[in-house]
Amino acid sequence: MRPLILVRDKGYTGRRIRNYPRRRGIRLTIPRLSNEPRRAPFRREIYSQRNVVERAINRLKQFLRITTRYEKLAVNYTAMIENACILLWL
């Protein structure tokens, strides 16, 4: 599976990092550094949704079994993530 859009920090603004997804047909949303020329359009509304994903991951890190990866099988690890998501949702 290939993502449609890739959203990253300013730390990933290098030419090689930007060209790799573009060659594979993946659109980018990476803010430019202040000393870089602005070439591609920056989609601020897509970049603002990145905050929601980061907050969800940080809330999942509260669960020690997920953070330390006690579960070795992918099926069990996925189940623990689902359980943590349910607990956070309640």
Tell me: the pLDDT tens digits for 33-65?
777 777 777 788 888 888 888 888 888 888 887
Q: Please compute the mean of the pLDDT values over residues 82-89 and round it to a whole number.
A: 90
Helix axes 74-89, 50-60, angle to 10 degrees: 110
Q: Are residues 12 and 42 in the same domain?
A: yes
Q: Are residues 59 and 28 in the same domain?
A: no
Q: Are residues 71 and 29 in the same domain?
A: no
Range of the domain at 57: 53-90
Contact 4, 27 (CB under 8 A): yes
Run of H or E including 17: helix 15-23
Q: Are residues 71 and 31 in the same domain?
A: no
Q: Are residues 44 and 63 in the same domain?
A: no
| The token pair that represents 63 in the structure block | 């669960």
Contact 30, 18 (CB under 8 A): yes
Counting the structural domains of the chain, the total is 2
Q: Are residues 33 and 58 in the same domain?
A: no
